[in-house]
Amino acid sequence: MKTILCFGDSNTWGFDPASITSAHPCRHPLDVRWTGRLATELGADFRVIEEGQNGRTTVHDDPLNVCRNGRDYLPACLESHKPIDIAVLMLGTNDLKSFYNLPPGEIANGAAILAKMILASDAGPRNQAPQLLLVCPPQIGDLSHLPDLEAKIPNGILRSQQFPRYYQAIAAALGCAYLNSQEIVQTSPVDGIHLDASEHTKLGSAIAVKIRQMVG
C-alpha cells in the first residue's frame, strides 16, 4: 500500500464556502473533500492522509492565530506519517493576507522552502525522500461582496493569477511533479477563496491522475 500525504490549508481541510460568515466554520463531508475523492479514485492500494489546516501559511507566523506556520509543523508531520510515498503540497493562499505584504514570487518561494524540506527528508520508504507533487493554489475570486475579507486579501485576483508561473518554475528547478489547480477549478462565488463540492471532485480526480503517473 502506498501512502499519500496531502499538506495544505483550508482547501485541503475542506472548508465549506457557505460557512464563511459563520462563527463556526464547517467543512465538506469526508467523501466530498478532494482528499476523499482522491482516496476513492485511487482505491484500496493507497492510503490518503489529510493534513489541512485553516489559515496555514508556507513559512510565516500569523500574528492573530497560533500554530499556522507550515514550516514549523512540517517536520513533525513528515516524521509522524513516514514512510510516505508521495507528498502533495498546496499552500500559498493565506500568504496573500495584507499583514504579510508579500509579492506572489516571494509567496512561491515560501512554498519552495517546504518543497525542499520534503525532498531533503528521510520520510519516504527506506529512509529516502518521498516523491513530491507541488500544486499551485487556486485563483482568488471576486471578494467585493465581502469587504472585510477583501481588505484582508488586497488585489487577490491579480496577485494569485501570477502564482502559476512561479510555482511551475519551482517544480522544474526541483525536478518534482507539478499541477496547476487554476486550470482545473474555480473558487466559489460565495466567498472567492474556497471550493464548492463540484470543484473538490475535479481537483481530486486531477490529482489522482498525476499520482498514478508518478507511481507508474
Q: Provide the CB-side half-sphere exposure for 26 (13 A, CA).
A: 11
Residue 24 confidence (pLDDT) above 90: no
Average confidence (pLDDT) over 46-55: 98
Q: Are residues 116 and 159 in contact, defined by beta-carbon separation less than 8 angstroms?
A: no
Q: Are residues 121 and 141 in contact, defined by beta-carbon separation less than 8 angstroms?
A: no
pLDDT band at 86 (very low <50, low <70, confident <90, very high): very high
Instruction: Please state the length of the chain.
Output: 216
Q: What is the pLDDT of residues 88-127, one digit of tens each?
A: 999 999 999 999 999 999 999 999 999 999 999 999 999 9
Average confidence (pLDDT) over 197-216: 97
Q: Are residues 185 and 199 in contact, defined by beta-carbon separation less than 8 angstroms?
A: yes
pLDDT band at 23 (very low <50, low <70, confident <90, very high): confident
pLDDT band at 29 (very low <50, low <70, confident <90, very high): very high
Q: What pLDDT does 21 receive?
A: 84
3-state secondary structure of 59: coil
Q: What pLDDT does 45 receive?
A: 97
Residue 192 confidence (pLDDT) above 90: yes
Pick the CATH number of 2-215 from 2.40.50.140, 3.20.20.120, 3.50.50.60, 3.40.50.1110: 3.40.50.1110
**Cis omega (within 30 of 0) for bond into 137:** no
Return phi, psi of residue 49, to 5°.
Answer: -105, 125
Task: Count helices and strands (H / E) in the chain.
Answer: 8, 5
- Residues 142, 144, 145, 151: is their CA dihedral positive or negative? positive
**Mean of the per-residue pLDDT values of the chain:** 97
Q: Are residues 12 and 50 in contact, defined by beta-carbon separation less than 8 angstroms?
A: yes
Return phi, psi of residue 4, to 5°.
Answer: -115, 120
Domain positions in the chain are 2-215
Residue 75 confidence (pLDDT) above 90: yes
Residue 22 confidence (pLDDT) above 90: no
